[in-house]
């Protein structure tokens, strides 16, 4: 189902959670709302679900397939909502938890007992918990509970699946497994799924598109690829994480670090302006000897070989710490040791001049 949000604002007292948000979500899409806590991502999800009502404004709309549902309560929107802390009904068995959405239907629409049983069993099958129907939530692990919560939401055959940090309370391995499972489930069921997360890796890995949010606004909407490689703002590149920041100054329209130019000329910017230069750890090369005028001297302070890449920490002569990822082969070739003096050279950088946002 396609969902369109138009000019939605929401404030709680003096706190603004959403500021004039507009967003279109395509039918069958898996989209992530990514941002730090307090960025408004959960509030946006709850507005879509109908658990929060947006600030009154004649221009604001929440459209499900073109139909304005802004005044419809949560129960009438046919949304499957999954909470971070599962929110299972503790006094009910797994079976009854999943059957709940069917049992509370008005008598005329309620399926027969046998139909309910079939439905619940097929859902138990789907979440790979056959034979767990008689257990109670307390007797399940976190990952199992979240799967039950998902099955419970799916039982009402929702038009859209809303997940509020569904894997936030689980440990890393379970989280990764469930994430992949969610993606294949989404493809299988052909629903529209909105996933709220603060985990950039999760968002970039499972989503068709990522909505990066910050301070009640949308910073960028795009495919994971675009968001990662073409970040629209300093916030986005910073939040996606794992990046070196250099603080330089603009000289003759070019950002300069330690008298070294790092590319990206902007003539219109006056000299002396602060420039923040972002370089990802894998976009820096390490050499034993200076290579051209853009090399910076650095000292190796730490080498971490645990992983696909070796993670090298270095200290620049300006005392700034940087992180560089090199392949294991490169590490071998370089014969790097702690304390070695080397030269680093950024291959690709993104420059943001704070007062002249591009």
Partner 1 sequence: MSNNARSKAMLPGFRLTMGYTLLYLSLIVLIPLSALFLKAATMDWNDFYETITSRRVVAAYRLTFGASLIAALINTVFGALVAWSIVRYRFPGRQLLDAIIDLPFAMPTAVSGIALMAIYAPTGLIGKHLLPYGIKTAISPLGIVIALTFIGLPFVVRTLQPALEELDGEAEQAAASLGANRWQTFWRIIVPSLMPSLLTGFTLAFARALGEYGSVIFVAGNIPMKTEIASLLIISKLDDADVPGAAAIAVVMLSATFLILLVVQGIQWWSQRMTGRA
Whichever of 137 and 231 has its CB closer to partner 1, that residue is 137
The yes or no reply on residue 211 touching partner 1 (CB under 8 A) is no
CA gap 310, 324 in Å, rounded: 8
In the complex with partner 1, which residue's Cβ is closer, 123 or 250?
123
The residue within the footprint of partner 1, chosen from 65, 67, 104, 287 (CB under 8 A), is: 104
Does position 72 bind partner 1 by CB under 8 A? no
Give dist(CA 105, CA 76) in Å, integer: 11
User: CA angle at residue 10 from 84 to 196, to 5 degrees?
Assistant: 25
- Options 69-77, 256-264, 309-317, 320-328: segment touching partner 1 (CB under 8 A): 69-77
Choice from 83, 181, 228, 356 touching partner 1 (CB under 8 A): 83
**Separation of alpha carbons 307 and 311, rounded Å:** 8
Question: CA 169, CA 142: separation in Å to the nearest integer?
Answer: 8
How many CA atoms lie less than 13 Å away from 142 in the CB half-sphere? 15
| Joined tokens for residue 191 | 């629903």
On whether the CB atoms of residues 93 and 133 are closer than 8 A, the answer is yes
Determine the Cα–Cα distance for residues 54 and 48; give it in Å rounded to an integer: 9
Site residues (CB under 8 A) for partner 1, limited to 127-166? 135-139, 149, 152-153, 155-156
Question: Using the rule CB under 8 A, is 81 a contact of partner 1?
Answer: yes
Q: How far is the CB of 92 from partner 1 (least distance, A)?
A: 8
- Residue 160's nearest CA partner among 6, 33, 27, 46 is 27
With CB under 8 A as the contact rule, which of the stretches 27-35, 74-82, 304-312, 325-333 interacts with partner 1? 74-82
- Residue 318 CB, shortest distance to partner 1, in Å, is 49
Told to check if 303 binds partner 1 by CB under 8 A, we report: no
Coil vs helix vs strand at 287: strand
CB of 139 to partner 1, least distance (A): 4
79 part of the interface to partner 1, by CB under 8 A: yes
End-to-end CA distance of the chain: 35
The reply on whether position 169 binds partner 1 by CB under 8 A is: no
Q: What is the C-alpha separation between 211 and 159, in angstroms, rounded?
A: 20
Q: H helices within the chain, ranges in order?
A: 41-49, 94-103, 113-126, 142-154, 172-189, 200-206, 224-229, 234-240, 328-334
Q: Which of 15, 22, 24, 105 binds partner 1 (CB under 8 A)?
A: 105
If one asks whether residue 299 binds partner 1 (CB under 8 A), the answer comes out as no
Q: How far is the CB of 144 from partner 1 (least distance, A)?
A: 13
User: Cβ 208 to partner 1, closest distance in Å?
Assistant: 24
Residue among 91 and 247 whose Cβ is closer to partner 1 = 91
Which CB sits closer to partner 1, 23 or 151?
151
Q: Name the site residues for partner 1 (rule: CB under 8 A).
A: 49, 51, 73-76, 79-81, 83, 85, 87-92, 100-101, 104-105, 135-139, 149, 152-153, 155-156
């Amino acid at each position: 189902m396609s969902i369109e949000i138009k000019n939605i604002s929401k404030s709680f007292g003096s706190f603004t959670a959403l500021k004039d948000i507009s967003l279109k979500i395509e039918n069958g899409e898996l989209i992530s709302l990514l941002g730090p806590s307090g960025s408004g991502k959960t509030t946006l999800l709850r507005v879509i679900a109908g658990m929060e009502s947006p600030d009154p404004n004649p221009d604001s709309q929440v459209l499900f397939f073109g139909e304005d549902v802004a005044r419809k309560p949560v129960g009438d929107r046919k949304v499957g909502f999954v909470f971070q802390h599962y929110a299972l009904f503790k006094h009910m068995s797994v079976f009854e938890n999943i059957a709940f959405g069917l049992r509370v239907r008005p008598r005329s629409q309620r399926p027969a007992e046998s139909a309910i049983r079939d439905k619940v069993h097929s859902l138990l099958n789907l979440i790979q918990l056959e034979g767990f129907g008689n257990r109670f939530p307390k007797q399940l692990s976190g990952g199992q509970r979240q799967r039950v919560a998902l099955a419970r939401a799916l039982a009402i055959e929702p038009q859209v699946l809303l997940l509020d940090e569904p894997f936030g309370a689980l440990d890393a391995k379970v989280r990764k497994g469930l994430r992949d499972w969610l993606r294949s489930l989404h493809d299988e069921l052909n629903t529209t799924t909105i996933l709220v997360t603060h985990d950039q890796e999760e968002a970039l890995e499972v989503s068709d598109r990522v909505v990066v949010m910050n301070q009640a606004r949308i910073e960028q909407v795009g495919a994971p690829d675009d968001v990662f490689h073409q970040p629209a703002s300093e916030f986005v590149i910073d939040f996606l994480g794992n990046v070196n920041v250099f603080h330089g100054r603009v000289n003759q329209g070019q950002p300069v670090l330690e008298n070294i130019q790092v590319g990206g000329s902007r003539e219109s910017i006056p000299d002396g302006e602060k420039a923040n230069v972002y370089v990802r750890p894998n976009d820096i090369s390490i050499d034993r000897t200076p290579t051209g005028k853009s090399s910076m001297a650095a000292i190796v302070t730490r080498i971490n070989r645990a992983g696909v890449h070796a993670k090298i920490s270095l200290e620049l002569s300006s005392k700034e710490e940087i992180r560089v990822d090199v392949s294991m082969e490169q590490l071998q070739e370089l014969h790097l040791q702690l304390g070695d003096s080397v030269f680093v050279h950024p291959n690709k950088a993104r420059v943001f001049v704070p007062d002249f946002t591009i």
